[in-house]
Amino acid sequence: MSPPLPPFETHTVENQPPPFEPRDLWRDDVVLRDAVEREGAGEFAARVAAYGALAGDELYRIGFDANRDRPRLRSHDRHGQRIDSVEFHPAYHRLLEVAKQHGVAGLSWQLPRPGAHVARAALSYLHHQAEAGTSCPLTMTHAAVAVLRRDPALREWADKAAAPHYDPRDLPIQAKTGLTVGMGMTEKQGGSDVRANTTMATPLGAAGEYRLVGHKWFFSAPMSDGFLVLAQAPGGLSCFLLPRRLAEGERNAFRLLRLKDKLGDWSNASSEVEFCGSWARRVGEEGRGVATIIGMVMLTRLDCMLGAAAQMRMAFAHALHHARHRRSFGKPLLAHALMRNVLTDLAIESEAATAFALRVARAVDAAERDPAEAAFARVATALGKYWLCKRAPAFVNEAQECLGGAGYVEESILPRLYRQAPLNSIWEGSGNIQCLDVLRALDRDAEGGAALLNELDGAVDLDPRYADAVTALRQRLAAGGIEEFDGRAIAEQLVLALQAALLLRTRSPVAATFVASRVAGAHGLAFGTLRGDVDSAATLQRALP
Ligand SMILES: Cc1cc2nc3c(=O)[nH]c(=O)nc-3n(C[C@H](O)[C@H](O)[C@H](O)COP(=O)(O)OP(=O)(O)OC[C@H]3O[C@@H](n4cnc5c(N)ncnc54)[C@H](O)[C@@H]3O)c2cc1C
């Protein structure tokens, strides 16, 4: 007979995993470490490593606070004056403070040398694993610099957006050490189709100055110091910088109407806004609004891809941690063959996603120096944004299921990841829009198409099944006339082949299984349908030591 339990005790708690955190997100992630080195950011490794330790400890912990206590709109102060302000949990500010200090929003601009964009991408990937909501203002701030720095008159904006300082004070930018920048494109009558924007921009006397009247239907991070927005000027759709405060200190004329009640992304505020004669400065030429803001959008799309890879990585790490420690039917979950198949499949998907996102980051990094990489970045960004973001929700759900009921409970990060996962596929151009971009590139961007084929060709000698797939793809592309209806199918084949090429070229131990399952068809529709002889133990040990 077992000894009697002390008073009040009813049972012994057992068969539960040890805490997941603190965890060094850099040290544990060999795929990330290899990619940072391979894609040219080795000299930044120590900086990224420092952030990995922080992200898996303090940032991970306070991410729960930032999401539990959601932002609140304060339209008026207690005297009835409009303030159009948003109140956040202190954890939100701390996350932004640490991220900006470490260069998540600015490293690539502060140290503009080869590899800096890759290092910043790695920082963004680590930050997103700890807390995804703050990634929104961070990515927009980073991406806006690409547009702001082209206009010498906006030098202070560009420099302070890239600066390693977070300054949440609601002051004119001249009085601040660091800035955040948002983006306003989507209106009620059209988001993907921004040419349907109705917000009107009327020129003022001074060159480049306008008054904006209209609205935006989705306007995230509304406490940003400024926003790049699209509006209709006399010469057509144009891009404007709309500051929150004017130089003299008064509030610019816009109203936050309400905050969106969102499925996820809870730490971040997304608002509806009306511009009531807001002062704005034109950026780029009149009528070239889309061409101007695309410089920002290309970078936010890269971060969507990195975010999707980060969500997969964090979800996978939780699933494997749990399966190693939890037992059922007399043995660890991981000792069950079906569970091994699921986790091995997830490990392979996660590796391919991380490696590909950082490969695209290198293309972005090299774009100014190397036209072929610039061409590759144009088409690979659309492909990766489409595919990685499409994979993340199903992936996170599968990882969640590995935890059983615990994966459905808020104390684990899985429910938060699950709510967040679909967002990256919607904003910054939804899936179909990315596929249309890919079709356009195949049709009209000869350099983009050539860069794609060149990347694919680099691995044809390494696996005959892969070589067959590339031959078929080449023939399909050469035949031309790809119908819009087939856009997703062709994008999927291309991006899977690109991921396979990368894994093969880099001699990844998962390359052969990736090719067999994702390129040669030995896989079902769900995760956990790998076939044949797969070294699960080695794959999982490598994926999370
Ligand atoms: C939480 C959140 C925050 C956001 N924050 C911002 C922000 O800060 N700033 C901002 O500007 N926007 C923001 N957005 C808006 C987002 O970018 C848009 O929702 C998105 O671009 C889609 O636009 P839409 O909602 O108007 O949908 P629509 O354009 O109506 O599209 C609906 C569906 O139709 C598809 N579709 C559209 N055209 C075609 C076509 N030609 N062929 C095939 N399919 C097509 C789309 O892919 C999509 O699946 C945010 C959205 C969310 C959810």
Tell which of 289, 311, 338 closes a domain.
Answer: 289
189 lines ligand 1 (CB under 6 A): no
User: Do 528 and 539 form a contact (C-beta atoms < 8 A)?
Assistant: no
State the chain's mean pLDDT as an integer: 97
Which of helix, strand or coil describes residue 265? coil
Nearest CA to ligand 1 atom 45: 432
Q: What is the mean pLDDT of residues 249-255?
A: 97
Position 533 pLDDT exceeds 90: no
- Residue 515 belongs to domain with CATH number: 1.20.140.10
Contacts of 479 (CB under 8 A, 6+ apart): none
Token pair, residue 132, equals 């995804």
State the Cα angle at 517 between 514 and 520, rounded to 5°. 105
- Residue-wise pLDDT for 179-213, tens only, equals 999 999 999 999 999 999 999 999 998 889 999 99
Q: Are residues 160 and 236 in the same domain?
A: no
219 lines ligand 1 (CB under 6 A): yes
Asked if residue 18 is part of any domain, the answer here is: no
User: Do 226 and 179 form a contact (C-beta atoms < 8 A)?
Assistant: yes
CA of 224 relative to ligand 1 center, distance in Å: 21
Nearest CA to ligand 1 atom 38: 192
85 lines ligand 1 (CB under 6 A): no
- Residue-wise pLDDT for 120-156, tens only, equals 999 999 999 999 999 999 999 999 999 999 999 999 9
CA distance 107 to 118: 10
User: Do 188 and 215 form a contact (C-beta atoms < 8 A)?
Assistant: yes
Residue type, 50: A
**Is the peptide bond between 332 and the residue preceding it cis, with omega within 30 degrees of 0?**
no
Q: How far is CA 473 from CA 463, 493, 495, in A?
A: 15, 8, 11
Pocket test for ligand 1, best of 67, 426, 434, 485 (most atoms within 8 A of CB): 426
State the Cα angle at 37 between 357 and 449, rounded to 5°. 40
Asked if residue 13 is part of any domain, the answer here is: no
CA of 522 relative to ligand 1 center, distance in Å: 34
pLDDT of residue 7: 86
Asked if residue 86 is part of any domain, the answer here is: yes
Asked if residue 147 is part of any domain, the answer here is: yes
Q: Specify the DSSP class assigned to residue 518.
A: I
Q: Are residues 392 and 351 in the same domain?
A: yes
- Residue 242 belongs to domain with CATH number: 2.40.110.20
- Residue-wise pLDDT for 10-28, tens only, equals 999 999 999 999 999 999 9
Domain that holds residue 525: 291-543
CA of 494 relative to ligand 1 center, distance in Å: 24
CA distance 112 to 282: 26
Position 68 pLDDT exceeds 90: yes
Residue 230 phi/psi, 5-degree rounding, is -105, 140
Asked if residue 8 is part of any domain, the answer here is: no
Q: Are residues 406 and 496 in the same domain?
A: yes
Q: Are residues 80 and 228 in the same domain?
A: no
Q: Is 1 or 428 the better-scoring residue by pLDDT? A: 428
Nearest CA to ligand 1 atom 16: 427
pLDDT of residue 523: 96
Asked if residue 462 is part of any domain, the answer here is: yes
pLDDT of residue 82: 95
- Residue-wise pLDDT for 110-121, tens only, equals 999 999 999 999
Which of helix, strand or coil describes residue 29? coil
Tell which of 237, 266, 289 closes a domain.
Answer: 289
Q: What is the mean pLDDT of residues 97-111?
A: 98
CA of 24 relative to ligand 1 center, distance in Å: 35
Position 2 pLDDT exceeds 80: no
CA distance 2 to 21: 34
Tell which of 158, 174, 190 closes a domain.
Answer: 174
257 lines ligand 1 (CB under 6 A): no
The number of distinct structural domains making up the chain is: 3
Half-sphere exposure of 379 (CA within 13 A, CB side): 29
CA of 398 relative to ligand 1 center, distance in Å: 26
pLDDT of residue 226: 98
270 CA closest ligand 1 atom index: 3
Q: Are residues 376 and 523 in the same domain?
A: yes
Q: Are residues 316 and 394 in the same domain?
A: yes
CA of 365 relative to ligand 1 center, distance in Å: 27
427 lines ligand 1 (CB under 6 A): yes
266 lines ligand 1 (CB under 6 A): no
CA of 19 relative to ligand 1 center, distance in Å: 38
- Residue-wise pLDDT for 345-376, tens only, equals 999 999 999 999 999 999 999 999 999 999 99
The total number of residues written for the chain in this structure? 545
Q: Are residues 218 and 144 in the same domain?
A: no
CA of 17 relative to ligand 1 center, distance in Å: 40
Using the structure block, give the residue that is written with the tokens 């200090």.
101
CA of 337 relative to ligand 1 center, distance in Å: 41
Q: Are residues 454 and 402 in the same domain?
A: yes
The pTM score is: 0.97
426 lines ligand 1 (CB under 6 A): yes
Nearest CA to ligand 1 atom 43: 432
Nearest CA to ligand 1 atom 25: 191
- Residue-wise pLDDT for 391-407, tens only, equals 999 999 999 999 999 99
| Exposed / middle / buried, residue 51 (Cβ in 10 Å: 0-12, 13-18, 19+) | buried
Q: Are residues 229 and 300 in the same domain?
A: no
Q: Are residues 348 and 489 in the same domain?
A: yes
CA distance 465 to 539: 21
101 lines ligand 1 (CB under 6 A): no
142: closest CA among 107, 114, 166? 107
230 lines ligand 1 (CB under 6 A): no
Q: Are residues 179 and 234 in the same domain?
A: yes
187 lines ligand 1 (CB under 6 A): no
DSSP 106-173: THHHHS-STTHHHHHHHHHHHHHHH-STTHHHHHHHHHHHHHHTTSGGGHHHHHHHHSS------S-G
Q: Are residues 505 and 472 in the same domain?
A: yes
Position 1 pLDDT exceeds 80: no
Asked if residue 6 is part of any domain, the answer here is: no
CA of 472 relative to ligand 1 center, distance in Å: 33
Asked if residue 24 is part of any domain, the answer here is: no
CA of 487 relative to ligand 1 center, distance in Å: 18
Strand 236-243, strand 181-184: pairing: unpaired
